[in-house]
Amino acid sequence: MQSKARITAIGTYVPEKKLTNEDLEKMVDTNDEWIVQRTGMKERRIAGDDEFASQLAYKAIEDLIEKYNKDVKDVDCIIVATTTADYAFPSVACQIQNHFNIPCTGAFDLNATCAGFTYALHLANNLITSGAHKKILVVATETLSKVTDYKDRTTCILFGDGAGAMLVEYDHENPSFLAAHMGTNGEGGINVYRTSFSTTMDGKALSDTGKIVQNGREVYKWASRTLPEGIHTLLGNAQLDIENINWFIPHSANLRMIESICEKSNISIEKTLTSVKYYGNTSAVSIPLALNLGIEEGKVKNEDTLLLYGFGGGLTHLGLVVKWNI
List, by residue number, the catalytic residues. 114, 251, 281
Strand partners, 139: 80, 165
Please tell me whether residue 277 adopts helix, strand or coil conformation: helix
Measured in degrees and rounded to the nearest 5, phi and psi for residue 46 equal -125, 125
What sign results for the dihedral spanned by CA atoms 225, 226, 232, 235?
A: negative
281 DSSP assignment: B
| C-alpha distance from residue 314 to each of 23, 115, 223 (Å) | 31, 9, 12
The b/e string for 230-265 (b: 16+ C-beta within 10 A; e otherwise) is bbeebbeebebeeeebbbbbbbbbbbbbbebbbeeb
Tell me the CA end-to-end span of the chain in Å, nearest whole number. Answer: 22
Cα-to-chain-centroid distance, residue 85 = 15
